[in-house]
Chains A and B, each alone.
Chain A
């Protein structure tokens, strides 16, 4: 019992003197690592061919339940810049990033957004809703943070980054307008969205939809029977014809709601699957931010019209 312990303790003492190597100077492409695919998309569009971007969370991954692999650690260590969402989307991983900020370029993209535009919890000040990418105009603000960071790392590419960022901002502005127009085509009384978990509050606020989630933001907040009955009554009363499932959340609960409505004689269909916390597979149109938002809006408009 004693010997292995002594060896272990000795190793600790040796370690106390050690310090990690200074980050190596990189030439050529900037190596950027992001947590979600949505951030990776912004970085790709601003940095274009001067960056290589890796997103840790792949398509269909729920950021709340994400588990890092051994390879992820290597990717984080080798990154020149790390972008993450912030606002506690990444849970404890976000706390690690916060500390890492002092010795590495680690940027929460949500930092660039004015606090008064964020949705705060009504009861607990400072616990913001992290799903900021659903309001295109809000997400557009993260471009500034990304661009400034890239310029700092590669000052010689300044004009290139600014031109790319400007182009991306125009695309986002067009998209924002397109989404607004599309939602306007839904009759005002039908602009109600029922989703599996509360990820679409920003979307609802930006484009004038009432959003109801079956589940709270936390995956553990199972809603009670009364909430379920209330929601079913709400759907029947407002004659809502579609509810939505999400690619990264189980559809079991939302199906229970559909069945509940059927028992009350109101037919409600599952309007389709929305991309909420993760984008579609790489290579498909939904694998980019623009494509993902378009796909979501198309699904919503078709189902609610």
Chain B
């Protein structure tokens, strides 16, 4: 049962992150997950300074608010200051992280307080981190409910807003001319991203989330040129890597998150080499064929 709980939780988060990742990659914002993982630090510190507790709920709330704030800042710098997205992301998260470090040094140096120990969860604990009712009924792993809720919200959001998200991703200028607000849908997408990442940080840890946002979508990107197909492949990769990763972790008795990310990396490497359209080897072969053709045809001409 443990294996099932862990793989299912990982899969649900992987699908949420993967679907959002498809949009992020095409908007050149794939590293926003990594940015949020650092930027939440001041949120945690401020939440602690205000409430004086290090319980999960307060920490998640602080992290989520700062997460949304940081995505807003990124959007703001990108649009108002005309900064490239990568520079906007870089400036925002380093600044917020630094703010957090200073806050800790000044106010809370004697308290063990950082993302590692108060926010980031560990996927190995999913089966024992149970939701227990007041009368002692066990409802199953807490993270599984969080993962399922996150996925439902994300799928609903993408289904309802698919046309607008699609349009603002591929052709923002056209979207604007037909009256679709580019910045509104940007903010909505970023809000969904920060909600998803913070929920996932709490349940399965940070590295996994960052990798899930980028990896499966990047693999799918190499395999297809159609957006819908890309989303389907992403979901497929998310499921496969969660399951394979879990069994890799069993085999080496290692960190589950680490193993899943390793599998994603290996899958990406294979795709990078062998993808029919974008793969390095396939391109080489096409070039060789082309050269051969020219050589054999040359004497005739």
Contacting pair B8 A218 (CB below 8 A): no
B138 adjacent to A224 (CB under 8 Å):
no
B231 adjacent to A1 (CB under 8 Å): yes
Nearest CB of chain A from residue B136's CB, rounded to whole Å: 7
- Decide: A216 and B2 in contact? CB cutoff 8 A: no
Which of A5, A72, A124, A130 contacts B15 (CB under 8 A)? A5
Interface residue? A234 (CB, 8 A):
no
Q: Are A20 and B138 in touch, CB under 8 angstroms?
A: yes
* B255 and A217 within 8 A (CB): no
Residues facing B in A64-88 (CB within 8 A) are 64-65, 67-74, 76-77, 88
Contact stretch, chosen from B28-36, B48-56, B88-96, B291-299: B48-56
Shortest beta-carbon distance from A73 to chain B in Å: 5
Q: Which residue on chain A has the smallest CB distance to residue B256?
A: A70
Query: How many residues of chain B get a CB closer than 8 Å to chain A's CBs?
Result: 65
In chain B, positions 1-35 with a C-beta closer than 8 Å to chain A are: 1-2, 5, 8, 11-12, 15, 19
A27 contacts the other chain (CB 8 A): no
Q: Is B12 in contact with A67, judged by CB distance below 8 angstroms?
A: no
Our pick among B119, B231, B253 for the contact of A69 (Cβ within 8 Å) is B253
Please, which residues of chain A bring their CB within 8 A of the CB of B54? 88, 127
A79 to chain B, nearest CB (A): 10
Q: Is A117 positioned at the interface, with any CB of B under 8 Å from its CB?
A: no
> In chain A between 20 and 42, which residues have their CB closer than 8 angstroms to a CB of chain B?
20-21
B97, chain A: closest CB distance, angstroms: 10
Which listed residue, A8, A68, A99, A220, touches B151 by the CB 8 Å rule? A8
B99–chain A nearest beta-carbon distance, Å: 12
Q: Judging by beta carbons under 8 Å apart, are B52 and A96 in contact?
A: no
Cβ-based interface call for B61 (8 A): no
Q: Which residues of A contact B117 (CB under 8 A)?
A: 64, 88, 91-92, 218
A contact patch SS = loop
Kindly provide the distance from the CB of A224 to the nearest chain B CB, expressed in whole angstroms: 6
Shortest CB–CB separation between residue A106 and chain B, in angstroms?
A: 10
Among B68-76, B123-131, B164-172, B262-270, the stretch in contact with A: B123-131
- Chain B hits for A99, CB < 8 A: 129-130, 132
Chain B residues with CB under 8 Å of A222's CB are 101, 105
In the complex, residue of chain A having the shortest beta-carbon distance to the beta carbon of B139: A16
Give bound CA distance, A65 to B132, whole Å: 28
A76, closest chain B residue (CB) = B128
Contact (Cβ within 8 A) B110 A216: yes
| Contact of B62 with A by CB under 8 A | no
Q: Is the CB of B104 within 8 A of A218?
A: yes
Contact of A70 with B124 in the complex, beta carbons under 8 Å: yes
Contacts A16-B140, A69-B254, A77-B2 given: A221-B105 contact, CB under 8 Å? yes
In the assembled complex, the Cα of A173 lies from the Cα of B19 at a distance in Å of 61
Using Cβ atoms and an 8 Å threshold, which residues of chain B touch A216?
104-105, 109-111
Shortest Cβ gap from A273 to chain B (Å): 22
B111 lies within 8 A of A220 (CB):
no
Give Cα distance in the complex from A153 to B109, angstroms: 40
Complex interface bits, B150-181 against A, C-beta within 8 A gives 1, otherwise 0: 01100100000000000000000000000000
- Tell me the bound Cα distance from A8 to B8 in angstroms: 8
Q: How distant is A12 from chain B, measured CB to nearest CB, in Å?
A: 5
Q: Compute how far the CA of A264 lies from the CA of B267 in the bound complex, rounded to whole angstroms.
A: 56
Q: Which residues of B contact A (CB under 8 A)?
A: 1-2, 5, 8, 11-12, 15, 19, 41, 48, 52-56, 100-101, 104-105, 107-114, 116-122, 124-125, 127-130, 132, 136, 138-140, 144, 148, 151-152, 155, 228, 231-232, 235-236, 239, 246, 249-250, 253-256, 258-259
Please list the residues of chain A having a beta carbon within 8 angstroms of any beta carbon in chain B: 1, 4-5, 8-9, 11-12, 15-16, 18-21, 64-65, 67-74, 76-77, 88-89, 91-93, 95-96, 99-100, 102-103, 121-127, 129-130, 198, 216-224
